[in-house]
Amino acid sequence: MSNTAQPSQSPTTDPPASLRCVRVCQNRTCKKQGAANVLAAFAALPVPGVMVTASGCLGQCGNGPMVLVLPETVWYSRVHPSEVPLLVEQHLLGDQRVRQMLYYRFHPQG
Ligand code: FES
């Protein structure tokens, strides 16, 4: 009989590498522009494998509400809650960027 200890399988809280994340800025300027409602709109449309999180300032104040989709690093600006279903359907479920909502500064070609 062996007395070799088995490596323990410690639980992890890290999301799987394949998990997609939608970060919705909730800092002051974006919040003034309605970011809380944008976050609520995402929360109302959960997508398996996609984690939606409130984020601190994403450094693009004045262009908000800002939304950043990771890991593909796609930025959306001036997102309105009524546009969230389109973003969910086309980008998160369909893997197609919503060109008309892209942040011009980081996606100048659309
Ligand atoms: S407050 Fe949202 S990007 Fe700065």
Is residue 94's pLDDT more than 80? yes
**Topology of domain 20-101, CATH:** Glutaredoxin (3.40.30)
Residue 66 CB–ligand 1 contact under 6 Å: yes
Mutating to test ligand 1, I would choose from 39, 60, 76, 77 the residue with most ligand atoms within 8 A of its C-beta, which is 60
Atom of ligand 1 nearest to the CA of 60: 3
pLDDT 10s digits, 31-89: 999 999 999 999 999 999 999 999 999 999 999 999 999 999 999 999 999 999 999 99
Residue 60 CB–ligand 1 contact under 6 Å: yes
Mutating to test ligand 1, I would choose from 23, 30, 77 the residue with most ligand atoms within 8 A of its C-beta, which is 30
pLDDT band at 17 (very low <50, low <70, confident <90, very high): low
User: What single string gives the DSSP state of each residue in 39-84?
Assistant: HHHHHTS--TTEEEEEES--S-TTS-S-EEEETTTEEE-S--GGGH
Question: Domain-by-domain residue ranges, the chain?
Answer: 20-101
HSE of 5 in the Cβ direction (CA atoms, 13 Å)?
Answer: 3
Is residue 10's pLDDT more than 80? no
